């Protein structure tokens, strides 16, 4: 709940770790492409659920939202409220990943003010440092929202380091969306030991690349992202809430 990369090695590792469902939400990738790749790697032993982690706001004021169960594509770089309203229109499950993490997250005020539109808050993220995960648990506790855990894997070895266990079986995208939106009973679980902590630190270090050279590349070298609201695929639907 969730991963950023998907290939044969990711699938193999997930199955070896006993994972039944992967939520696949890569950055800056349009929903039809995510769906196609998720379908390619789903089988009887592993369901891959397509999702979008939407970057709301401009680069300097980002608040991420993870939407599961979208029916229509939603771009990045739209307003926070615009994204929430669109997710609500589509009856998608809305999750808050890595709350209060650096400058890429919702804070507790954001979550509290929109608790009626948010379905869960991440309380354990393998990429986060211990104090950041404590903040996530505090946000969930103070807002009364259910938690969830994820590997947030940007690197293959992190897959299966943290996961969410639901009491009921999840056999389809609809099952997962219903479980999230209804607040179904669940447990957040993660591995332990030195290896787990080292893999988390490597993931956290990878965040430095994303926010330095990776960001520079996107801003100046790669041109307009496929998920930019000006992309022809969105047909001007988000002109009134775009931040660029």
- Contact partners, residue 205, CB within 8 Å, separation at least 6: none
Q: Is the pTM for the entire model greater than 0.85? A: yes
Q: Specify whether the CB–CB gap between 168 and 176 falls below 8 A.
A: no
Question: Mind listing the pLDDT tens digit for each residue in 85-100?
Answer: 999 999 999 999 999 9
Question: Mind listing the pLDDT tens digit for each residue in 48-106?
Answer: 999 999 999 987 888 999 999 999 999 999 999 999 999 999 999 999 999 998 778 89
What is the full per-residue pLDDT of the chain (244 aa) written as tens digits?
Answer: 999 999 999 999 999 999 999 999 999 999 999 999 999 999 999 999 999 999 999 878 889 999 999 999 999 999 999 999 999 999 999 999 999 987 788 999 999 999 999 999 999 999 999 999 999 999 999 999 999 999 999 999 999 999 999 999 999 999 999 999 999 999 999 999 999 999 989 988 877 656 554 554 555 444 468 999 999 989 899 999 999 8
Q: Specify whether the CB–CB gap between 24 and 168 falls below 8 A.
A: no
Distance CA 4, CA 159 (A): 10
Please tell me the number of Cα atoms within 13 Å of 227 on its side-chain side. Answer: 23
Distance CA 78, CA 51 (A): 17
Distance CA 37, CA 8 (A): 11
CATH of 8-234, one of 3.20.20.140, 3.30.230.70, 3.30.70.120, 3.40.50.2000: 3.20.20.140
* Reduced 3-state DSSP string for the chain: CCECCCCHHHHHHHHHCCCCEEEECCCCCCHHHHHHHHHHHCCCCCEEEEEEEEEECCHHHCEEEEEECCCCCCCCCECHHHHHHHHHHCCCEEEECCCCCCCCCCCHHHHHHCCCCCCEEEEEECCCCHHHHHHHHHHHHHHCCCEEEECCECCHHHCCCEEEEECCCCCCHHHHHHHHHHCCCEEEEECCHHHHHHHHHHHHHHHHHHCCHHHHHHHHHCCCCCCCCCCHHHCCCCCCCECC
């Amino acid at each position: 709940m969730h991963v950023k990369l998907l290939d044969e090695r990711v699938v193999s590792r997930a199955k070896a770790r006993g994972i039944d469902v992967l939520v696949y939400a890569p950055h800056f990738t349009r929903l039809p492409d995510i769906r196609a790749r998720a379908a390619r790697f789903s089988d009887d032993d592993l369901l891959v659920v397509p999702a979008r982690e939407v970057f709301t706001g401009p680069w300097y004021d980002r608040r991420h939202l993870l939407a599961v169960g979208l029916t229509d594509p939603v771009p990045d770089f739209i307003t926070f409220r615009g994204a929430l309203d669109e997710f609500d229109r589509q009856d998608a499950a809305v999750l808050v990943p890595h709350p209060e993490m650096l400058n890429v997250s919702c804070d507790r005020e954001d979550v509290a003010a929109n608790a009626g539109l948010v379905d869960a808050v991440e309380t354990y993220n393998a990429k986060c440092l211990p104090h950041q995960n404590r903040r996530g648990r505090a946000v969930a506790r103070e807002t009364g929202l259910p938690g969830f855990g994820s590997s947030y894997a940007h690197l293959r070895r992190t897959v299966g380091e943290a996961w969410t266990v639901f009491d009921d079986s999840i056999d389809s995208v609809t099952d997962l969306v219903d479980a999230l939106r209804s607040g179904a009973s669940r447990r957040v679980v993660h591995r332990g030991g030195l290896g787990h902590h080292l893999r988390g630190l490597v993931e956290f270090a990878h965040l430095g690349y994303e926010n330095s050279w990776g960001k520079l590349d996107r801003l100046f070298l790669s041109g307009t992202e496929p998920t930019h609201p000006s992309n022809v695929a969105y047909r001007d639907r988000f002109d009134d809430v775009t931040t660029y």
